[in-house]
Chain A
Amino acid sequence: MTLSRRDILKIGGAAAALPLLGGTAFAQEKLKVGFIYVGTINDNGYNYGHNQGRIFLQDALGDAVETTYVENVPEGPDCERVLRELAQQGNKLIFATSFGFGDAVIKVAAEFPDVAFEHATGYMKADNVGLYNARFYEGRAVCGTIAGHLSKTGKAAYIGSFPIPEVVMGINALALSGRRINPAFTVKPVYISTWNDPAKEGDAARALIDQGVDIIAQHTDGPAALQVAQERGIVGGFGQGADMSAFAPEAQLTAIIDHWGPHYVNSAKAVIAGTWTAGDTWEGLKEEVVQMGAYNKKIPADVVADAEKIRTGQIDGSFKIFTGPIKDNTGAERVAAGVAMTDAELLSMDWYVEGVEQPV
């Protein structure tokens, strides 16, 4: 047999394509599902919540799925590499669970058109990139009701990561619901530029308590701020992402618990059935994607009853926290009386309501 130059080129081409097949050829029987987390699964908060969702998916679908996660993935080029790695390993459904993964998800998704990507809390979609999010702000409205009743100084702090609409919305929900109870209630936001840095979260909490704050809410991933609240004996704070009462039994008034599991099950089932499309879901208390933790024993019964009213009102749709009249913190009216803000307006919220100190 003689080999022409063309034959050699063909063989070379086939050999070059071999590694492309390696990842997918044997993955037919089980759906492989990958998760990337920005922090560790032991943060007892946001990333822990997503990992609980992964475990829920694994338990619910058993042998039909194989799940993998990569933790502590920085938001940037490292994330791109991890996503590519998961796609090459044959994961056909990949959940990127942090806002800052957006650029990388869009980039890698274009290289793997047969892989379904879902990006939590993001805003950029593509044919194979869906979005999913939770209405955390509904939980904030319940927290704010408790804060409005219990705060003695009338001052709450809010430790946030970045001033993105998702975080701004939560701050505003806390302030609006707190001011329904106590019109003098104010919220001071502080941004620490990271989702997960217990030292920074703790330092911010200490500094804020020194300034007379007696309620601390946070939109970062771990229980560090609550631990400081416990240690300093202030009125308290709220668990975020998961129940954090183990870390602050006195200080945790209630918690906003993320329950991603059912969403993960639905998406995985859709991929297995071949019906998955890039969706855009935003569910809350009603769908139980957001749940409230147990109320602390020290909260008086009438306050619990009020908080419950807000919780059930949001479930049956009778109460919407972002309903006018709403003024911003410069005094200008933003939402007219009786008008409820639309989802699109909420998702681009970049102003603070009355009672929120303008962050520096």
Chain B
Amino acid sequence: MQFRLEKRAEPSRFMLYATPVGAVILTMIVGAIIFSLIGYDGIGAVREVFLTPLTNAYKWQDLGIKAAPLIIIGTGLSIAYRANVWNIGAEGQYVVGALAGTWVALATYTMSGPWILPLMILAGVVGGALYAAIPALLKTRLNVNEILTSLMLTYASIQLIYYLIRAQWKDPMGIGFPQTRRFAESAQLPTVIPHTIVHLGVPIAIVVALVAWFIMSRSVFGYRMRVVGAAPHAARYGGFSENKTIWLAMLVSGGLAGLAGVLEVAGPFQRMVPGFATGYGFTAIIVAFLGRLNPLGVIFAGIVLAITFVGGEVAQTTIKLPDAATGIFQAMVLFFLLAGDLLVRYRIRRVVTTPAGAA
């Protein structure tokens, strides 16, 4: 006896939206059991990781600034993934966008004016898009797999940080520590709510997601991306160029990753440091899928992942949960989501094999 996966004719729409929620709930249940079994307060772990960040008003600002880059990058990735373009290197585009913004900030260090920040943001978007153009070019010209090239360019981008901050951009006051000087006032992202750390990047993230949602659901561009992803043959028949779609998907997702990068360096960091790349670009992949590749879903998914980060730290201080627990919870969400997706799209059929020789 064996089992076989059989494609369902029409996946249930309800289940499509229920799986992300189910994945999070299942993560909580299984997480509680696993951590209880290995000797921690399992229920406490789930409470601290998933609920405390929501119930403690002090944590909301942390959630906002942690979710903002995830939402911006996740929105871009959801657009690219819709078109079956697998940009895995958002982390690298995030870094290059931030470096481009840093370049503007350092070049204008002695100047001031309201034009500096918009120029930095523009540089960030362009920087991220240009960095994503490399895998796009390789893909469309030489048919090189964009998953590999975009991923590998991430590691190159981190070396680029080290290279720049060790010499040209080194802080003259930093006693040799490889980091840039703190940005001038005009190059720092303002906070939008007084007496909090909530910076301008948070409302920008929401606006980006809403605009992306509108474009994806209401414009020809959005229609093109969705059709190319869902039915490539039909798209070709309909006159949509595959190469043009790859270019658009890479430039949009790269540009948004670059935007997230420049907002992060101008906001929370206020200078470029060697530890700038903390993995937002990779976590945003989970965010895009958890959000069903829909920009509105990405907002919620970004908040859920931000909760696990902030809650993971709470759990370390309150119930002494190890840091690795955060990663375990995040990985479980993705695992259950992908497993759930499989079952939504396929059904499991038992196959009775006929005994050998019977025919």
* Chain A residue with Cβ nearest B274: A193
Q: Are B314 and A165 in contact (CB under 8 A)?
A: no
Q: Are B313 and A165 in contact (CB under 8 A)?
A: no
Docked complex Cα distance between A342 and B323 (Å): 41
A72: chain B residues at CB < 8 Å are 323
Q: Are B274 and A350 in contact (CB under 8 A)?
A: no
CB 8 Å contact bits of A231-264 with B (1 = contact, 0 = none): 0000000000000000000000000000000000
CB 8 Å contact bits of B182-199 with A (1 = contact, 0 = none): 100000000000000100
Q: For the complex, is A300 an interface residue (Cβ under 8 Å from B)?
A: no
Q: For the complex, is B118 an interface residue (Cβ under 8 Å from A)?
A: no
Which residue from B58, B278, B320 sits with its C-beta under 8 Å from A88? B58
B322: chain A residues at CB < 8 Å are 71
B273: chain A residues at CB < 8 Å are 75-76, 100
Q: Are A193 and B56 in contact (CB under 8 A)?
A: no
A138: chain B residues at CB < 8 Å are none
B271: chain A residues at CB < 8 Å are 103
Q: A77-B269, A100-B275, A193-B274 are in contact. Are A350 and B176 (CB under 8 A)?
A: yes
Give the interface residue-count category, chain A: 35 or more
Q: For the complex, is A99 an interface residue (Cβ under 8 Å from B)?
A: yes
Give the Cβ gap from B320 to chain A, nearest Cβ, in Å.
7
B274: chain A residues at CB < 8 Å are 162, 193-194
CB 8 Å contact bits of B295-323 with A (1 = contact, 0 = none): 00000000000000010011011101011
Q: Are A164 and B175 in contact (CB under 8 A)?
A: yes
Q: For the complex, is A303 an interface residue (Cβ under 8 Å from B)?
A: no
Which residue from A77, A103, A191 sits with its C-beta under 8 Å from B65? A77
Q: For the complex, is A68 an interface residue (Cβ under 8 Å from B)?
A: yes
Q: For the complex, is A78 an interface residue (Cβ under 8 Å from B)?
A: yes
Q: Are A71 and B316 in contact (CB under 8 A)?
A: yes
Q: For the complex, is B62 an interface residue (Cβ under 8 Å from A)?
A: yes
A77: chain B residues at CB < 8 Å are 65, 264, 268-269
Most-contacted residue by chain B among A77, A165, A348 (CB, 10 A): A77
Docked complex Cα distance between A291 and B316 (Å): 30
A74: chain B residues at CB < 8 Å are 275, 278
Give the Cβ gap from A165 to chain B, nearest Cβ, in Å.
6
Q: Are B323 and A40 in contact (CB under 8 A)?
A: yes
Q: For the complex, is B162 an interface residue (Cβ under 8 Å from A)?
A: yes
Docked complex Cα distance between A80 and B58 (Å): 14
Q: Are A163 and B323 in contact (CB under 8 A)?
A: no
Which residue from B166, B176, B182, B317 sits with its C-beta under 8 Å from A168? B176
A123: chain B residues at CB < 8 Å are 175
Q: A40-B323, A76-B269, A89-B317 are in contact. Are A163 and B178 (CB under 8 A)?
A: yes
Kindly count the residue-residue contacts between A and B in the assembled complex, taking CB atoms under 8 Å apart.
Answer: 76
A78: chain B residues at CB < 8 Å are 278
Docked complex Cα distance between A176 and B320 (Å): 44
Which residue from A19, A82, A89 sits with its C-beta under 8 Å from B318? A89
Q: Are A68 and B323 in contact (CB under 8 A)?
A: no
Docked complex Cα distance between A81 and B316 (Å): 13
A71: chain B residues at CB < 8 Å are 316, 322-323
A81: chain B residues at CB < 8 Å are 62, 66, 310, 313
A168: chain B residues at CB < 8 Å are 176
* Chain A residue with Cβ nearest B327: A72
Q: For the complex, is A86 an interface residue (Cβ under 8 Å from B)?
A: yes
Interface members, chain B 140-189 (any A CB < 8 Å): 162, 166, 175-178, 182
B310: chain A residues at CB < 8 Å are 81
Give the interface residue-count category, chain B: 20 to 34
Q: Are A75 and B275 in contact (CB under 8 A)?
A: yes
* Chain B residue with Cβ nearest A70: B316
Docked complex Cα distance between A193 and B197 (Å): 28
* Chain A residue with Cβ nearest B161: A193
Q: For the complex, is A139 an interface residue (Cβ under 8 Å from B)?
A: no
* Chain A residue with Cβ nearest B57: A19
Q: Are A165 and B62 in contact (CB under 8 A)?
A: no
Docked complex Cα distance between A71 and B318 (Å): 13
B346: chain A residues at CB < 8 Å are none
Which residue from A69, A82, A165, A191 sits with its C-beta under 8 Å from B175? A165
Q: Are A76 and B276 in contact (CB under 8 A)?
A: yes
Q: Are A193 and B178 in contact (CB under 8 A)?
A: yes
Most-contacted residue by chain B among A34, A70, A100 (CB, 10 A): A70
Interface members, chain A 46-105 (any B CB < 8 Å): 68-72, 74-78, 80-82, 85-86, 88-89, 99-100, 103
Give the Cβ gap from A248 to chain B, nearest Cβ, in Å.
25
Docked complex Cα distance between A235 and B316 (Å): 41
Docked complex Cα distance between A72 and B309 (Å): 12
Most-contacted residue by chain A among B275, B314, B322 (CB, 10 A): B275
Which residue from A40, A85, A165, A194 sits with its C-beta under 8 Å from B176? A165
Q: Are B176 and A163 in contact (CB under 8 A)?
A: yes
Docked complex Cα distance between A34 and B57 (Å): 22
Q: A19-B57, A70-B323, A193-B162 are in contact. Are A85 and B317 (CB under 8 A)?
A: yes
Give the Cβ gap from A31 to chain B, nearest Cβ, in Å.
15
Q: Are A70 and B275 in contact (CB under 8 A)?
A: no
Docked complex Cα distance between A165 and B278 (Å): 26
* Chain B residue with Cβ nearest A89: B317
Q: A19-B56, A34-B317 are in contact. Are A76 and B176 (CB under 8 A)?
A: no
Give the Cβ gap from B86 to chain A, nearest Cβ, in Å.
25
A75: chain B residues at CB < 8 Å are 273, 275
Interface members, chain B 269-305 (any A CB < 8 Å): 269, 271, 273-276, 278
Docked complex Cα distance between A94 and B57 (Å): 23
The 7 closest A-B pairs by CB, nearest first: A77-B268, A72-B323, A70-B316, A75-B275, A164-B176, A193-B274, A193-B162
Known: A75-B275, A76-B269, A193-B162. 16 other contacts (CB 8 A): A19-B58, A68-B317, A70-B313, A71-B323, A74-B278, A76-B268, A76-B275, A77-B268, A81-B62, A81-B310, A89-B318, A100-B273, A103-B182, A168-B176, A191-B166, A350-B176
- The contact sample of 30 A-B pairs, CB cut-off 8 A, is A19-B56, A19-B57, A34-B317, A69-B316, A70-B313, A70-B316, A70-B317, A71-B316, A74-B275, A74-B278, A77-B264, A77-B269, A80-B268, A81-B66, A82-B313, A85-B314, A85-B317, A88-B58, A89-B318, A100-B177, A103-B182, A162-B178, A162-B274, A163-B176, A164-B177, A165-B176, A193-B162, A194-B275, A347-B175, A348-B175
